[in-house]
Amino acid sequence: MCERNVKVNLENGLHLAPCSAIAKVSSGFDCDVRIVKGDLSINAKDIFEVIQLAAEYGTTLLCKATGPDAPKAIQALADLFESNFEGIVPPEA
């Protein structure tokens, strides 16, 4: 199992575009990918579950993965958050 904390640095939090990107990136790996916020643990490959996180600016999330591609999946998600979803989410005005 691989785990890594990520922080939501988008002013508007995780809205539809970043949630879609999380699900798309997660789905590209052969492993189970979960994101944890408090007591809520969701399947990162399901956009509807990602939306349920309702993660606002400043929220710290725990990304967890198990399976053959777990390290790659966690790194890809960390890169997404660290880049602040660059190229996916339009700059906020």
pLDDT, position 93: 45
Residues of the chain with pLDDT under 70: 89-93
- Is residue 89 in some structural domain? no
* HSE (side-chain half, CA atoms, 13 Å) at 18: 29
Among 81, 73, 89, 85, which residue's Cα sits nearest to residue 34? Answer: 73
pLDDT, position 43: 98
Looking at the chain, which runs of residues are DSSP E strands? 2-7, 32-37, 40-43, 60-66
Task: Provide the domain limits for residue 50.
Answer: 2-82
CATH of the domain at 76: 3.30.1340.10
pTM: 0.93
- Is residue 91 in some structural domain? no
